[in-house]
Structure 1
Amino acid sequence: MSEFNNRIIAQRDALKIVNGSELFVEPLLSLTEKAIDRWSRNNKVDAQDSIIILLKSMSGTLFFLANRSQEQVTEDYRELSKKVDKQLSDLELELANKAFQRSSR
């Protein structure tokens, strides 16, 4: 159950980071690839933008963790959890940079 909660918390954290940035008109509702694609189109964020790449990478990592959560917690699982934490930090930094760039214009 703890692994499940960790994945849910990580997803919520990612959504809070993106939606809390106030850089986008439409909020991101989910970390599925379709939701990210729709969000990027509606907010006119290029598919090759670093935010989209980070979100899709995080989506893939969380999907992999979801499939691993049924197994005994292994070193691989712990490493993937650390990767998600790094991705969240990278996302926060990238959005802060974008906010700074917008305010500098």
Structure 2
Amino acid sequence: MSEFNNRIELQREVIKIINQKGLDIQITGLSDSAIKRWLSDNKLDKNSELIKLLYEISSKLFFLANKSQEQITDSYKKLSVEVSDLVNKLRMKILE
């Protein structure tokens, strides 16, 4: 259960970080459709480094969610660390 809680906490953290940007419309989720709507509502460039990073985090979190039913493996743990590193990178990008 802690893997699930960790993923949820990471998702919340990413949303909080993105919403610190102070845009008119806040992001509400990390699904592909939520990100696309947020981009459209705020008229953002989908090719910016920040957005690419957001999609990468979203994709890896989704992958981890699908793997959560399986036994925790070294590759799962490695990917979890990668996501945490990407979240830290996102935090730094927002501050730029």
Superposition CA RMSD, Å? 0.8
Deviations 1:2-33 (Å, cap 9, x if unpaired)? Answer: 111011000000001011232x1100000001
- Provide the secondary structure at the position in 1 that maps to 2:44: coil
Structure 1 unaligned regions, length at least 5? 98-105
> TM-score by structure 1 length?
0.87
1:57 aligns with 2:88: no
Tell me, in whole angstroms, the C-alpha distance in 1 between the residues paired with 2:49 and 2:43: 13
Task: Indicate the residue corresponding to 1:37 in structure 2.
Answer: 36
Task: Indicate the residue corresponding to 1:21 in structure 2.
Answer: 21
Tell me, in whole angstroms, the C-alpha distance in 1 between the residues paired with 2:7 and 2:26: 20
Q: Kindly state the Cα deviation for residue 45 of structure 1 after the two structures are TM-superposed.
A: 1.1
Task: Indicate the residue corresponding to 2:9 in structure 1.
Answer: 9
> TM-score by structure 2 length?
0.95
- Number of residues paired by the alignment? 96
Structure 2 unaligned regions, length at least 5? none
What is the identity, as a one-letter code, of the residue corresponding to 1:7? R
